[in-house]
Structure 1
Amino acid sequence: SPVGKAMATCDPKGPVAFMINKIKVDPHAGEVATGRLFSGTLHRGMELYVSGVVNTNRIQQTGIVMGAERVEVEEIPAGNIAAVTGLRDAIVGSTVSSEQSMTPFEQIKHVSEPVMTVAVEAKNTRDLPKVVEVLRQIAKEDPTLQVTINEETGEHLMAGMGELHLDVTVTRLQRDRGVELKTSPPIVVYRESVGGRAGPVEGKSPNHHNRFYIEFEPLELGVIEALKEGKISMKMEEVERRKVLLDKGMEKDEAKSIVGYFGTNVLLNMTKGIQYLRETMELILEGFEEALKNGPICREPAQGIKAKLVDVKLHEDAVHRGPAQVIPAVRQAVQAGILMADPVLLEPFQNVYIQVPQDQMGGAMSEIQGRRGVILNMDSQGDMIILKSKMPVAQMFGFSGAIRSATEGRALWSSEFAGFEPLPANLLQDTVKQIRTRKGLKPEMPKPSDYLKVV
């Protein structure tokens, strides 16, 4: 393509191809988007397209990055790291171009997932608009942070990679933005999944005229990883997608039947020749997504579930198979199916690396093992021991102070996200009760029959 040729030669006269990898809020200039300019030339007043947005954004200031400083210049040719203002619709990973039809750069993939959440509110109600704006800005600056509004309570929820990440973010907000905040104790983010098979589970529409039969089972681990890494997408050519799925362990009939996915959950259409199904599929996917966004175990997101649509009975009149009929039927079938397929709760883990003198190693190991941690590896460098361990995030509250006490302040430690693993069976009931009680739900886990009642 013309853009591809211009990028290959780093042509300053070619179409603009600009990849944003950092956004920072400057108290005077506003949002400053920084990234590499692969082709074209940027200058003030230029109208550019941001990937995923129809309208253009106008560049207000152009500058180049020199160390920690941003130096304003009239124009920036290809090859430079540019820092510009005015791209109000851009986020980290956005592609900015003078060509609306340009294929965006690959999405930036973040290894870590948010595993801990705090509720944030303004100490003074008059600061509420400022808090909303500041949280929106911080979410743009830090892609590993997720900011959402709980529509039931009106709380602003901030999810991050751990206790330290959230503490640092809140401190920065209060210090740099001058906003006084109140935060709740941190809450661990869990995931719901299945450990066995179930179905076909029948989902009936409220008017009894439509029925959906769905089977459930765990999704292949290879497929889950490929979805996380962005190697599988509904935008891919079907032949290419099928090849990836087969390589990752999915059966041939299933690999060609995927109709949609949500996170790391997939929906397969295993039916043949069902009338009106094609025009109803969008509503089926909506019901599937609604059920998995807030799973039945304790309203946590679901992951790693394979749902197979094996039979469908639809009313011939479109009026009787609209959103109010199809979405609840599919949602209830999915919720009941998860509870019938050996439901499991997945908890987040972190790899914890501790560097400690040999004479303090015992204290560090005791601290790890006392928090349901496992020592994975032990290495020595001179007088220092490097411990690699894995620990559930739920047990890491207060770890920073505890490891300092256990090693007389001589330990250095760091952590990284290590994925989700099933919660031990002996902790499942108590954990589910705690989460459900915190969310204002009935403490007991629901039964499949609770979801299969026709409204």
Structure 2
Amino acid sequence: MVPSLNFCVICANIMQGPNILLDDTLPTEVDKSLLNAVKDSIVQGFQWGAREGPLCDEPIRNVKFKIVDARIAPEPLHRGSGQLIPTARRVAYSSFLMATPRLMEPVYYVEIQTPIDCVSAIYTVLSRRRGHVTADVPQPGTPAYIVKAFLPVIESFGFETDLRYHTQGQAFCLSVFDHWAIVPGDPLDKSIVLRPLEPAPIQHLAREFMVKTRRRKGMSEDVSISKFFDEAMMVELAQQAAVLHQQMM
């Protein structure tokens, strides 16, 4: 009989973002005493990886990591913090990159006060900046309308000037941070070609944001998962992919 699973939350990374590290190993497969002995080092490596993600060297959000297997040397000499912390970080990076990661961006809640004849112009300005209106209602006791919308923060630069230009100065807006949203597109899609001085299509934005952020930080433009794996592990993954491909044919 398999003993009942006892899911243990090793670390809820609240200080650096909403990420969780779970111990999902079975006592029949992993020596729990050895795992508990190196738990602090694993948590430090996890926190390091969550604080400086592999895509843009920025914090990771809303990700749950599970430890499903662990092979730990019984000799204390071979499981020191200097060995385990970088290893735990590489494991977090490799598992993150293999799980179709996405970029997230902050989004403003925008409230615009405007006359009724300027509402259509506001819709036009918001649509050009990836914003979308959630409600437009009349303000009681006045001829003004209140337009409520969400607008990505990166698209908000110059928004107020653009808004006043298209409404002849009749619209006024207030913006506050509201939530995080996923950037459209796959940041790891190498088939996307980014052309200088040309706006990228919406489905290419994630790739564009990642490449430009890495350039600004002096990092290489591409993210390669191979540098987080040992050569033997890469060969094993390639063999598994080949077997899976044959089974699907």
Same fold (TM over 0.5): yes
> What do residues 91-134 of structure 1 show as CA deviations (whole Å, max 9, x unaligned)?
xxxxxxxxxxxxxxxxxxxxxxxxxxxxxxxxxxxxxxxxxxxx
> What do residues 11-45 of structure 1 show as CA deviations (whole Å, max 9, x unaligned)?
xxxxxxxxxxxxxxxxxxxxxxxxxxxxxxxxxxx
**Structure 2 residue matching 1:344: 3-state secondary structure:** coil
Matches within 5 A, 1:349-428: 349-381=107-139, 382-425=142-185, 426=203, 427-428=205-206
Structure 2 residue 19 is matched with structure 1 residue 261? no
Structure 2 residue 240 is matched with structure 1 residue 450? no
Determine if contact 2:5/2:26 at 8 Å carries over to the other structure: no
Q: Which 4+ stretches in 1 moved above 2 angstroms?
A: none
Determine if contact 1:379/1:385 at 8 Å carries over to the other structure: yes
Question: Any unmatched runs of 5+ in structure 1?
Answer: 1-251
Question: Any unmatched runs of 5+ in structure 2?
Answer: 186-202, 232-249
The offset of 1:311, in angstroms, is 1.3
Give TM-score, length-normalised by structure 1.
0.43
Instruction: Name which one, 1 or 2, has greater alpha-carbon Rg.
Output: 1
For residue 437 of structure 1, the aligned residue among 188, 209, 215 is 215
Q: Distance in 1 between matches of 2:76 and 2:5?
A: 30
For residue 328 of structure 1, the aligned residue among 70, 78, 86 is 86
The offset of 1:390, in angstroms, is 0.7
Determine if contact 1:337/1:448 at 8 Å carries over to the other structure: no
Matches within 5 A, 1:13-412: 256-262=7-13, 263-273=17-27, 274=31, 275-381=33-139, 382-412=142-172
Relative to 1, partners in 2 of residues 1:424 and 1:318: Cα closer, same or farther, differing over 3 Å?
Answer: same
The offset of 1:418, in angstroms, is 2.0
- The structure with more strand, counted as a fraction of residues: 1
One-letter code of the match for 2:19?
N
Give TM-score, length-normalised by structure 2.
0.76
**Structure 1 residue matching 2:88: 3-state secondary structure:** helix
One-letter code of the match for 2:162?
A
**Structure 1 residue matching 2:87: 3-state secondary structure:** helix
Relative to 1, partners in 2 of residues 1:391 and 1:253: Cα closer, same or farther, differing over 3 Å?
Answer: farther
The offset of 1:257, in angstroms, is 1.4
One-letter code of the match for 1:390?
F
Relative contact order, higher structure (CA 8 A, sep 6+):
2
**When the two structures are aligned, how many residues end up with a matched partner?**
201
Determine if contact 1:371/1:395 at 8 Å carries over to the other structure: yes
RMSD: 1.7
Out of 409-418 and 313-322, give the one that drifted further: 409-418
**Structure 1 residue matching 2:38: 3-state secondary structure:** helix
> What do residues 49-81 of structure 1 show as CA deviations (whole Å, max 9, x unaligned)?
xxxxxxxxxxxxxxxxxxxxxxxxxxxxxxxxx
Q: Distance in 1 between matches of 2:81 and 2:145?
A: 60
The offset of 1:260, in angstroms, is 0.7
